Structure 1
Amino acid sequence: MSDHNVDPSLFARFVPLDALRPQTHAELARKSTILNLRAGEVLFKPGDGAERALFLVAGTLRLCDADGHVVATLAAGAPSAAHRIAHQSPRRVTATCVTDVRCLAVDASLLDVMLTWDQTGSFEVGEVGVTADATGDDWMTRLLQMRTFQLVPPCNLQAMFMRMQQIEVEPGEVIVRQDDEGDFFYVVMSGRYIVTREQPHQKPVRLAELDAGACFGEEALIADSRRNATVTALTRGKLMRLDKADFRKLLTDPLSRRIDQARAQALVAEGKARWLDVRLPSEFRRGSLPGAINLPLYMLRMKLAQLDATSTWIACCDTGRRSAVAAFILMQKGFDAYVLEGGVPASERGDAP
């Protein structure tokens, strides 16, 4: 059983949470939970991921290695319990509750970002030009939980937020229109928005609905192409936007996780990565890399559930442009992804004479 009402003052008891600013405590508390376990229950076992940083609030835990030998006993309040519980990922020990236990669970990646920001210089919400309301900083916290933004250097993220402009929208207002030139990257602060795609002689296709923390508009900026969908406000709301030049400088360049052919081939051969070909099916049928999965870029967001989230994906196309967009989308959704430098070789595409 878990409790989502976390008192920020609890963070002062633990390292490194105690080093964060009070504002950061408040932000993390909203994204943290308290886990309540009974004596005899297992908190985690070897091989489990460590997506959450765990801190012992009450009770006693026993840590045992893979052979069942006790390596440590933690009691809440003791100096040894002031730190994260066996935080290696994947977990290397089994944590069993000796008594009833309460644990503070914090998103580990978000904690890492916050620690980096607090130690490299951060900003107040007011400095970003955000209205001081209940949603003022929640959209930023949600954005920072996305893997995409956790890979961006903190100084770039700080500059991004400082350069963003806040705009207010009304119900029915079109934010971006299909086939227009890309000009801004948008993040939703509040309100609801619908994403649709126009098709000749047919009704628009509803692709998604967005709310606070969601972002859109990046695909046209990365690929330097026209908008591939229309985004319309369903309710009154607020958006933050970043212009094309700043988006490319602060986000696209740092996120260009490009990998050359030799290294990519080696990772795939070793079973450490898989090919994701984002070209059209007609292009894919003409020639592709051995074992590649074809998921056209325009279908990627809708079909992400078909991909193994535990795999590393190397996105590829003919030039690298579409795959750059694909990698951005994948990382945004928590996947480990790279862009194949130079695209699928001509010999594999069926283009060789």
Structure 2
Amino acid sequence: GLQDASRLSFESRGGIVDDGLGYNPEVSEFSVEASILADTVQGYVNDHGADKVGVLYVGFGEVLLFMQAASDYEVLGDVRWFGSDANTKESKLVEDSIGLGFVTDTSYTTVQVASGKNDLSQYVDSSLNESIGRIPSTYASSAYDMMWLMGLTIEREQSTDVAVLTAAIPEVAEEYVGALGSSRLNDAGDLAQTNYDVWDIRDGSWTLAGTYFSATDTIALEGTMMKDGLTGEVEVGSILPLTGRLSKHGEENWVASVLATVDFNKYLADKGATWTLSATVEDSQTSPTVALEKLQTLHAKNIKIVLGPETSSNLQNMKGYADSNGILLFSCCSTSPLLAISGDTIFRMAPDDTNQGTALSKIFTEAGIEAVVPVWREDAW
């Protein structure tokens, strides 16, 4: 998972990483975990000084609850806190007075796969802001690009056969430049570009602080030929967390998917195509068990092209069923290195956490951190 990737990279830079604290992702009260974390962090502060110690938090929407519990301990507010893509632009952290005070005091810094910073990414952001009332995470761009990539591949091949699409997606992705920028995929079917935007909170708002460039291991501070034959409606399924701890991401990614579907169908109409793309969504409730049930529901409807799920634990739980039943899965946001498998029918519009861990470890080093205590959800992520 991400904590392991971050550990390996930071230790290779000479840093120290504690065994850390894993917690049950189903709980909603973290006073015990905060107490244990405070004792652990205090030991490192005694040895290194508060300015040399950081906490890496790897979790989902429960981040506010965890930080509210952590705010009861002075030592946890004295050290730097760092986070991942899942908590980047988390609105609850700036809307809650305790949360805002804590992230401000700890200079909370997160990373998320870099957006394309192009006209299309601005269009997606502004369209979703108008629809849901907030600027979305970069994974909304992933969701938008996924729908276009899938549509373009179906259009090129004039087929919905999973084997045909699996072979063709990397070729189409090689040429497609979307809201994320280049959509080129690596051999495991994951997004090849591994740059990360660095975010922090200034004056009560999320602010782009810079970009980590993997090719140089540096942080820069801010700033087709078509075939004939397909007709009718092609239905693509989506499994997203419309409820549960990632419901914020689920909402924005579904809105982005619908937006992409509308725009892609306009593109088809302009070409005089004889088919259209439609999208249907099932709610995973941010649960691996429910996600698998929803995949089975879609399969029963003869839907074998499924966008989602968002989390690595959900994707891991669905993989066996998808493999056995010839289902193509296209995830916007799963990043676990465990799922970076060449030759399967899973594609991900995000680089795996080996790269995110390297980006985080670079930020630790640049921040002068010598020792890190990780906290993480005990699941596939």
TM-score range relative to shorter protein: under 0.3
| The structure with more strand, counted as a fraction of residues | 1
Higher relative contact order (CA 8 A, sep 6+): 2
TM-score by length of 1: 0.28
